[in-house]
Homo-oligomer: A and B are copies of this chain.
Amino acid sequence: MTVDVSISTEENASAAQNERGERAPRARGRPGGEDSRARILSSAGKLFAARGYSGVSMRELARAAKVNLGAVNYHFGGKGKLYHETVLRLIEDIGPVFGPIIHRLVDEVSNAAGNREALSHCTANFMKDMFATVLGKRSLRWQMAFLLREFHQPSREFPMILAERINPMHDAVGTLLAAALELDPKDPSVRLRSQAFIGQIMSFGASRSVVCARLGWDDYSKNRIDFIAATIIPATLASLGLPPVVTNEEKRA
């Protein structure tokens, strides 16, 4: 448990003792290295997501991360390697976010055991989770933009993203659709409908500018995201031939 945390955050690795009580060797040399590294990685993610690889200069990046220009190459050994590290970091970052959502979906589908009301609830829960996460999580904003960019303009890092994060998500949705449609999860039509299912959700992230322009919104907010979910979920349930989910308010009436 403590191991997991230290791996996922990856900070303070050199600052304390290890779990055996042995003295961990303190960092030598001028301090601040891990700090700068983290700042560079964070700035790089945001900038690459917003403007793409060639749209970001090393100088701009160094300025944003508040480090010297040379420090970027010192820590990462070049722009290309930095981009690679950014993708690795992205994959690490979104794992703990989508992992539980995927886990919950697969669990609930399994527990539903074909019961269609239960499948409706799985679907609604999953979509609520996804909308809230993809559209709402401030901390995930640049990651989503980064992903969308890699989707439609795959770099050499794309296969890794596909294998580590996209395939598990699509496979999970596949089990839901297979249960709802009573088809094999490997059926090509299930895979296509998984794409439509996920693509529909992601499109609200990819076309944020369009949605906001057409709805007269400045940006998404919690209430607006809830409204999107409440609007789209019934349509998706119907598309799967699943019964509508009765909301709490409707139950009271």
Contact = CB atoms under 8 A, between A and B. Distances in A.
Copy tally for this chain in the complex stands at: 2
A117 to B, nearest CB: 18
The size class of the interface chain A forms with chain B is 35 or more
A210 to B, nearest CB: 6
A231 B189 contact: yes
Interface stretch (A4-12, A20-28, A49-57, A78-86): A49-57
B193 A235 contact: yes
Given A167-B214, A202-B203, A239-B239, A228 B192 contact: yes
Interchain residue pairs A-B with the least CB separation, the first 4: A199-B203, A239-B239, A235-B239, A54-B55
29 contacts: A51-B153, A52-B52, A54-B55, A145-B152, A148-B152, A151-B207, A152-B207, A154-B209, A162-B210, A166-B210, A170-B210, A188-B215, A188-B231, A189-B231, A192-B211, A192-B227, A192-B232, A193-B232, A195-B207, A195-B211, A196-B200, A199-B199, A199-B203, A200-B203, A203-B203, A203-B206, A206-B206, A235-B239, A238-B238
